[in-house]
Amino acid sequence: MKSPGIERVLFTEEEIHRRILQIAAGISEDYAGRQLKLVGVLKGSVFFLTALARELTVPVTVDFLGISSFAYSQTTPGLVRISKDLDESIEGEHVLLVEDIIDTGFTTRYLLKHLSERAPKSLAVCTLLDRTTRRIVQIPLDYRCFEIPDRFVVGFGLDYQQFYRNLKYVAVLNPEPQS
């Protein structure tokens, strides 16, 4: 059943799960024989990160960054601030940055710079959603589940004013004002 305010479902729970299995298999193969640190970005990527982590077959540790991002709605794109830093060092580790969505690319570029300054052994990027049509800065993207059209989406971690994160699917939000 759709939640109020949802225009149409883009990816169902089953489609997301199937795609995560494929991506996880690729990551497990690429990192075979090594251990991997997943770095999630609060709060959006938590839902994807936990689903992905459960399907990985390499030893995995998890840490989180918190950010305040003004990239989507304001006229000054790219303004990102760390509000919660990593709990542990990533020096010498294989790090996979796990994102909910890459839009303009400003957030990811900022986070990659922040993480690479901590001297990880390797640094790669994995995103649930990729909206290439709005990309402003090019960033290296190693793994992505889905490309999406230029519409605002919610669910599976993505929010509108902090709501909808818990939806099992990814959906286009109805642009009409909510009553």
Does residue 112 touch ligand IMP according to CB under 6 A? no
CB of 45 to ligand IMP, least distance (A): 8
Bridge partners for 128 per DSSP: none
Q: Which of 106, 143, 156, 169 binds ligand IMP (CB under 6 A)?
A: 106
Q: Which of residues 75-104 bind ligand IMP (CB under 6 A)?
A: 100-104
How many residues interact with ligand IMP (rule CB under 6 A)?
A: 17
* Contact positions vs Mg ion (CB under 5 A): 159
E strands in the chain:
6-11, 36-42, 60-69, 80-84, 94-102, 122-130, 143-147, 153-154, 170-173
Q: Using the minimum distance from each CB to ligand IMP, give the nearer residue, 71 or 97.
A: 71
Instruction: Candidates 60, 115, 124, 158: give the one binding ligand IMP (CB under 6 A).
Output: 158
**Per annotation, catalytic residue among 87, 100, 103, 142:** 103
- Minimal CB distance to Mg ion: which residue? 159
Using CB under 6 A, which residues numbered 26 to 45 contact ligand IMP?
44
Could you tell me where the DSSP H helices lie in the chain? 13-30, 46-55, 106-116
Task: Examine the residue annotation and report whether 103 is marked as an active-site residue of this protein.
Answer: yes
Mask for 118-157, x = binds ligand IMP (CB under 6 A): ----------------------------------xxx---
For 164, phi and psi rounded to 5 degrees? 80, -5
Exposure of 50 by Cβ count < 10 A (0-12 exposed, 13-18 middle, 19+ buried)? middle
C-alpha span between 13 and 69 (Å, rounded)? 27
Which two three-digit tokens encode residue 8?
């149409």
Cis peptide before 43 (omega within 30 of 0): yes
Indicate which residues carry an active-site annotation: 103
**Positions in the binding site for ligand IMP (CB under 6 A):** 44, 69, 71-72, 100-108, 152-154, 158
